[in-house]
């Protein structure tokens, strides 16, 4: 799907900031915007590194991870 590992999800007012890292290099990158834009940028970055995957699974994975993070924050009583 992508050569990147998800490190952090930040909820902004109307957007997200998602930090990913390359496991073999440890280089972290932050992508900001709505999930569709982040998925496109993340997919393009993966293609530049030689990953041959479709963009759609990346988008759905981000949606699932963000929903899970929101549920965990709500369970802790943190407003997002």
Backbone angles phi, psi at 7, to 5 degrees: -110, -45
Give this prediction's pTM. Answer: 0.84
Residue range of the domain that includes 13: 5-76
Q: What are 31-50's pLDDT values in tens digits?
A: 999 999 999 999 999 999 89
DSSP 4: -
Task: Report residue 2's pLDDT band, with 50, 70 and 90 as the boundaries.
Answer: confident
Backbone angles phi, psi at 55, to 5 degrees: -75, -35
Number of domains in the chain: 1
Q: Output the six-digit token pair for 44.
A: 């393009």
Q: Output the six-digit token pair for 21.
A: 């890292």
């Amino acid at each position: 799907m992508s050569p990147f590992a998800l490190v952090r999800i930040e909820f902004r007012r109307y957007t997200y900031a998602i930090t990913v890292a390359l496991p073999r290099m440890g280089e972290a990158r932050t992508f900001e915007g709505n999930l569709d834009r982040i998925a496109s940028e993340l997919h393009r970055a993966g293609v530049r590194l030689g990953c041959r995957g479709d963009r759609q699974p990346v988008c759905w994975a981000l949606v699932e991870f963000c929903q899970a993070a929101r549920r965990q924050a709500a369970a802790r009583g943190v407003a997002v």
